[in-house]
Amino acid sequence: MIPHDRPIPPDQARRIGRTVGILFIITFVTSIPALLLYGPVLHDTGYIVGGGSDNQILLGAALELLLIVANIGTAIVLYPIAKRQSETAALGFVTARVVESVFIAIGILSVLTVVALRQDGTGSVAVGEALVALKDWTFLLGPGFVVGIGNGMLLGYLMYRSGLVPRRMAVLGLVGGPLVCASGIAVLFGALALGGAGQFALTIPEIAWEASLGLYLAIKGFRQAPILLAAADRSVAPQHPAMPAVATA
Protein backbone atom coordinates (compact mmCIF):
# COMPACT_ATOMS: atom_id res chain seq x y z
CA MET A 1 0.00 0.00 0.00
CA ILE A 2 1.28 3.46 -0.92
CA PRO A 3 1.37 5.89 2.04
CA HIS A 4 -1.16 8.66 1.39
CA ASP A 5 1.21 11.46 2.43
CA ARG A 6 4.22 10.43 0.35
CA PRO A 7 4.95 11.13 -3.31
CA ILE A 8 4.62 8.36 -5.88
CA PRO A 9 7.79 8.12 -8.00
CA PRO A 10 7.23 8.47 -11.76
CA ASP A 11 8.41 4.93 -12.49
CA GLN A 12 6.01 3.48 -9.93
CA ALA A 13 3.12 5.58 -11.25
CA ARG A 14 3.96 4.41 -14.78
CA ARG A 15 3.92 0.76 -13.70
CA ILE A 16 0.60 1.17 -11.92
CA GLY A 17 -0.93 2.94 -14.91
CA ARG A 18 0.30 0.32 -17.34
CA THR A 19 -1.03 -2.47 -15.13
CA VAL A 20 -4.46 -0.82 -15.02
CA GLY A 21 -4.37 -0.39 -18.80
CA ILE A 22 -3.45 -4.04 -19.42
CA LEU A 23 -6.25 -5.17 -17.10
CA PHE A 24 -8.75 -3.04 -19.04
CA ILE A 25 -7.55 -4.61 -22.28
CA ILE A 26 -8.01 -8.06 -20.73
CA THR A 27 -11.63 -7.19 -19.97
CA PHE A 28 -12.19 -6.65 -23.69
CA VAL A 29 -10.37 -9.77 -24.90
CA THR A 30 -12.28 -11.96 -22.45
CA SER A 31 -15.80 -10.51 -22.44
CA ILE A 32 -16.37 -10.29 -26.20
CA PRO A 33 -15.21 -13.84 -27.08
CA ALA A 34 -17.13 -15.22 -24.09
CA LEU A 35 -20.37 -13.70 -25.35
CA LEU A 36 -19.77 -15.22 -28.78
CA LEU A 37 -18.96 -18.62 -27.30
CA TYR A 38 -22.23 -18.58 -25.35
CA GLY A 39 -24.15 -18.29 -28.64
CA PRO A 40 -25.52 -21.87 -28.73
CA VAL A 41 -26.99 -21.54 -25.23
CA LEU A 42 -28.31 -18.01 -25.65
CA HIS A 43 -29.87 -18.43 -29.09
CA ASP A 44 -31.01 -22.07 -29.21
CA THR A 45 -33.94 -22.78 -26.91
CA GLY A 46 -33.53 -26.51 -27.52
CA TYR A 47 -29.89 -26.63 -26.46
CA ILE A 48 -30.72 -27.95 -23.01
CA VAL A 49 -32.55 -31.00 -24.40
CA GLY A 50 -30.39 -31.68 -27.46
CA GLY A 51 -26.80 -32.05 -28.53
CA GLY A 52 -24.53 -29.19 -27.67
CA SER A 53 -21.01 -27.80 -27.81
CA ASP A 54 -20.40 -28.05 -24.09
CA ASN A 55 -16.66 -27.38 -24.33
CA GLN A 56 -17.40 -24.14 -26.16
CA ILE A 57 -19.68 -23.01 -23.35
CA LEU A 58 -17.16 -24.04 -20.70
CA LEU A 59 -14.47 -22.03 -22.47
CA GLY A 60 -16.76 -19.00 -22.43
CA ALA A 61 -17.30 -19.49 -18.69
CA ALA A 62 -13.52 -19.71 -18.14
CA LEU A 63 -13.03 -16.45 -20.03
CA GLU A 64 -15.65 -14.76 -17.88
CA LEU A 65 -13.89 -15.96 -14.74
CA LEU A 66 -10.78 -14.20 -16.04
CA LEU A 67 -12.98 -11.19 -16.79
CA ILE A 68 -14.05 -11.06 -13.13
CA VAL A 69 -10.40 -11.11 -12.01
CA ALA A 70 -9.50 -8.32 -14.45
CA ASN A 71 -12.56 -6.26 -13.48
CA ILE A 72 -11.77 -6.28 -9.78
CA GLY A 73 -8.07 -5.91 -10.52
CA THR A 74 -8.58 -2.59 -12.33
CA ALA A 75 -10.21 -1.13 -9.24
CA ILE A 76 -7.82 -2.58 -6.65
CA VAL A 77 -4.66 -1.58 -8.53
CA LEU A 78 -5.98 1.94 -9.14
CA TYR A 79 -7.36 2.50 -5.63
CA PRO A 80 -4.14 3.65 -3.87
CA ILE A 81 -3.77 6.48 -6.39
CA ALA A 82 -7.43 7.25 -7.00
CA LYS A 83 -8.20 7.71 -3.30
CA ARG A 84 -5.81 10.67 -3.26
CA GLN A 85 -8.29 12.47 -5.50
CA SER A 86 -11.45 11.26 -3.78
CA GLU A 87 -11.58 8.35 -1.38
CA THR A 88 -15.38 8.23 -1.71
CA ALA A 89 -15.29 8.00 -5.50
CA ALA A 90 -12.39 5.52 -5.44
CA LEU A 91 -14.22 3.27 -2.98
CA GLY A 92 -17.36 3.64 -5.08
CA PHE A 93 -15.45 2.47 -8.15
CA VAL A 94 -14.17 -0.60 -6.30
CA THR A 95 -17.70 -1.36 -5.09
CA ALA A 96 -19.18 -0.95 -8.56
CA ARG A 97 -16.60 -3.33 -10.02
CA VAL A 98 -17.38 -5.93 -7.36
CA VAL A 99 -21.15 -5.60 -7.92
CA GLU A 100 -20.68 -5.89 -11.68
CA SER A 101 -18.59 -9.01 -11.14
CA VAL A 102 -21.26 -10.54 -8.93
CA PHE A 103 -23.78 -10.15 -11.76
CA ILE A 104 -21.28 -11.73 -14.18
CA ALA A 105 -20.76 -14.65 -11.79
CA ILE A 106 -24.51 -15.26 -11.58
CA GLY A 107 -24.63 -15.29 -15.38
CA ILE A 108 -21.82 -17.86 -15.46
CA LEU A 109 -23.74 -20.08 -13.05
CA SER A 110 -26.86 -19.86 -15.21
CA VAL A 111 -25.14 -21.08 -18.39
CA LEU A 112 -23.20 -23.77 -16.51
CA THR A 113 -26.50 -24.98 -15.08
CA VAL A 114 -27.88 -25.31 -18.61
CA VAL A 115 -24.86 -27.43 -19.54
CA ALA A 116 -25.17 -29.60 -16.40
CA LEU A 117 -28.90 -30.25 -16.95
CA ARG A 118 -28.32 -31.09 -20.60
CA GLN A 119 -25.60 -33.60 -19.69
CA ASP A 120 -27.80 -35.19 -17.01
CA GLY A 121 -30.78 -35.34 -19.34
CA THR A 122 -32.99 -33.68 -16.71
CA GLY A 123 -33.49 -30.31 -18.36
CA SER A 124 -36.50 -28.96 -20.21
CA VAL A 125 -37.00 -26.18 -22.71
CA ALA A 126 -38.87 -24.11 -20.12
CA VAL A 127 -36.06 -24.44 -17.60
CA GLY A 128 -33.50 -23.61 -20.27
CA GLU A 129 -35.40 -20.49 -21.28
CA ALA A 130 -35.61 -19.40 -17.64
CA LEU A 131 -31.87 -19.79 -17.15
CA VAL A 132 -31.11 -17.90 -20.36
CA ALA A 133 -33.48 -15.14 -19.23
CA LEU A 134 -31.51 -14.96 -15.97
CA LYS A 135 -28.29 -14.65 -17.95
CA ASP A 136 -29.82 -11.81 -19.98
CA TRP A 137 -30.88 -9.97 -16.83
CA THR A 138 -27.40 -10.27 -15.30
CA PHE A 139 -25.95 -8.76 -18.47
CA LEU A 140 -28.44 -5.91 -18.39
CA LEU A 141 -27.96 -5.05 -14.72
CA GLY A 142 -24.19 -5.62 -14.62
CA PRO A 143 -22.42 -4.56 -17.84
CA GLY A 144 -25.60 -2.80 -19.00
CA PHE A 145 -26.13 -0.56 -15.97
CA VAL A 146 -23.58 -0.78 -13.14
CA VAL A 147 -20.75 -0.22 -15.61
CA GLY A 148 -22.21 3.20 -16.40
CA ILE A 149 -21.92 4.17 -12.75
CA GLY A 150 -18.50 2.67 -12.04
CA ASN A 151 -16.43 2.75 -15.21
CA GLY A 152 -18.30 5.71 -16.65
CA MET A 153 -19.24 8.31 -14.07
CA LEU A 154 -16.97 7.45 -11.11
CA LEU A 155 -13.83 6.52 -13.03
CA GLY A 156 -14.42 9.31 -15.52
CA TYR A 157 -14.68 11.80 -12.65
CA LEU A 158 -11.51 10.49 -11.00
CA MET A 159 -9.50 10.67 -14.20
CA TYR A 160 -10.91 14.07 -15.20
CA ARG A 161 -10.26 15.72 -11.84
CA SER A 162 -6.86 14.14 -11.26
CA GLY A 163 -5.38 14.83 -14.69
CA LEU A 164 -3.83 11.33 -14.80
CA VAL A 165 -5.06 11.00 -18.39
CA PRO A 166 -5.99 13.67 -20.96
CA ARG A 167 -9.17 15.41 -19.81
CA ARG A 168 -10.81 15.20 -23.24
CA MET A 169 -10.51 11.41 -23.00
CA ALA A 170 -12.07 11.37 -19.53
CA VAL A 171 -15.06 13.34 -20.85
CA LEU A 172 -16.00 10.20 -22.79
CA GLY A 173 -16.55 8.44 -19.47
CA LEU A 174 -18.55 11.31 -18.02
CA VAL A 175 -20.80 11.27 -21.10
CA GLY A 176 -20.82 7.53 -21.73
CA GLY A 177 -21.64 6.51 -18.16
CA PRO A 178 -25.05 8.22 -17.97
CA LEU A 179 -25.87 6.97 -21.48
CA VAL A 180 -25.18 3.36 -20.44
CA CYS A 181 -27.42 3.76 -17.38
CA ALA A 182 -30.12 5.35 -19.52
CA SER A 183 -29.95 2.51 -22.04
CA GLY A 184 -30.24 -0.05 -19.24
CA ILE A 185 -33.31 1.65 -17.82
CA ALA A 186 -34.81 1.92 -21.33
CA VAL A 187 -34.35 -1.82 -21.84
CA LEU A 188 -35.79 -2.53 -18.40
CA PHE A 189 -39.01 -0.71 -19.30
CA GLY A 190 -39.19 -2.13 -22.82
CA ALA A 191 -38.32 1.07 -24.67
CA LEU A 192 -35.24 -0.58 -26.19
CA ALA A 193 -34.47 -4.20 -27.06
CA LEU A 194 -31.78 -5.96 -25.07
CA GLY A 195 -28.70 -6.12 -27.30
CA GLY A 196 -30.47 -4.15 -30.02
CA ALA A 197 -29.12 -1.34 -32.17
CA GLY A 198 -30.54 1.36 -29.90
CA GLN A 199 -28.85 0.04 -26.79
CA PHE A 200 -25.58 -0.49 -28.66
CA ALA A 201 -25.62 3.07 -30.02
CA LEU A 202 -25.96 4.46 -26.51
CA THR A 203 -23.02 2.40 -25.27
CA ILE A 204 -20.57 3.54 -27.97
CA PRO A 205 -19.13 6.46 -25.93
CA GLU A 206 -18.55 4.13 -22.96
CA ILE A 207 -16.88 1.53 -25.17
CA ALA A 208 -14.68 4.25 -26.67
CA TRP A 209 -13.81 5.49 -23.18
CA GLU A 210 -12.76 2.13 -21.81
CA ALA A 211 -10.88 1.12 -24.97
CA SER A 212 -9.00 4.42 -25.22
CA LEU A 213 -8.21 4.40 -21.50
CA GLY A 214 -6.87 0.85 -21.64
CA LEU A 215 -4.69 1.51 -24.69
CA TYR A 216 -3.45 4.88 -23.42
CA LEU A 217 -2.46 3.54 -20.02
CA ALA A 218 -0.93 0.33 -21.36
CA ILE A 219 1.32 2.38 -23.65
CA LYS A 220 2.04 5.57 -21.71
CA GLY A 221 1.05 5.04 -18.10
CA PHE A 222 -0.27 7.88 -15.96
CA ARG A 223 0.51 11.51 -16.69
CA GLN A 224 2.25 13.48 -13.97
CA ALA A 225 -0.42 15.06 -11.79
CA PRO A 226 -0.69 16.77 -8.39
CA ILE A 227 -2.14 13.69 -6.69
CA LEU A 228 1.17 11.91 -7.29
CA LEU A 229 2.97 14.48 -5.14
CA ALA A 230 3.45 14.41 -1.40
CA ALA A 231 0.44 15.56 0.61
CA ALA A 232 2.11 18.84 1.58
CA ASP A 233 2.80 19.69 -2.06
CA ARG A 234 -0.65 18.77 -3.41
CA SER A 235 -2.38 21.71 -1.76
CA VAL A 236 -0.24 24.24 -3.62
CA ALA A 237 -0.05 22.45 -6.98
CA PRO A 238 -2.36 23.57 -9.82
CA GLN A 239 -5.43 21.34 -10.25
CA HIS A 240 -4.90 20.58 -13.94
CA PRO A 241 -1.24 21.18 -14.77
CA ALA A 242 0.00 20.87 -18.30
CA MET A 243 2.62 18.27 -17.45
CA PRO A 244 4.33 15.68 -19.64
CA ALA A 245 3.31 12.05 -19.46
CA VAL A 246 4.93 10.04 -16.70
CA ALA A 247 5.95 7.35 -19.15
CA THR A 248 7.72 9.77 -21.48
CA ALA A 249 11.38 8.94 -21.65
pLDDT tens string 108-142: 999 999 999 998 888 899 999 999 999 999 999 99
Amino acid 4: pLDDT:
63
Amino acid 229: pLDDT:
78
Amino acid 244: pLDDT:
39
Q: Is residue 5 part of a domain?
A: no
Lowest-confidence range among 27-36, 91-100, 163-172, 237-246? 237-246
**Domain region containing 72:** 10-234
Q: Is residue 139 part of a domain?
A: yes
Write down the mean pLDDT value for the chain: 90
Q: State the total domains in the chain.
A: 1
DSSP letters, the chain, are ---TTSPPPHHHHHHHHHHHHHHHHHHHHHHHHHHHHTHHHHH-TTGGGS---HHHHHHHHHHHHHHHHHHHHHHHHHHHHHHHH-HHHHHHHHHHHHHHHHHHHHHHHHHHHHHHHHHHT---HHHHHHHHHHHHHHHHHIIIIIHIIIIIIIHHHHHHHH-SS-HHHHHHHHHHHHHHHHHHHHHHTTSS-TTSHHHHHHHHHHHHHHHHHHHHHHHH-PBP-GGGS-HHHHTTS-SS----BTT--
Amino acid 35: pLDDT:
94
Q: Is residue 223 part of a domain?
A: yes
Amino acid 5: pLDDT:
65
Q: Is residue 245 part of a domain?
A: no
Q: Is residue 248 part of a domain?
A: no
Q: Is residue 244 part of a domain?
A: no
Residue 238 has pLDDT above 90, yes or no: no
Residue 68 has pLDDT above 90, yes or no: yes
Q: Is residue 69 part of a domain?
A: yes
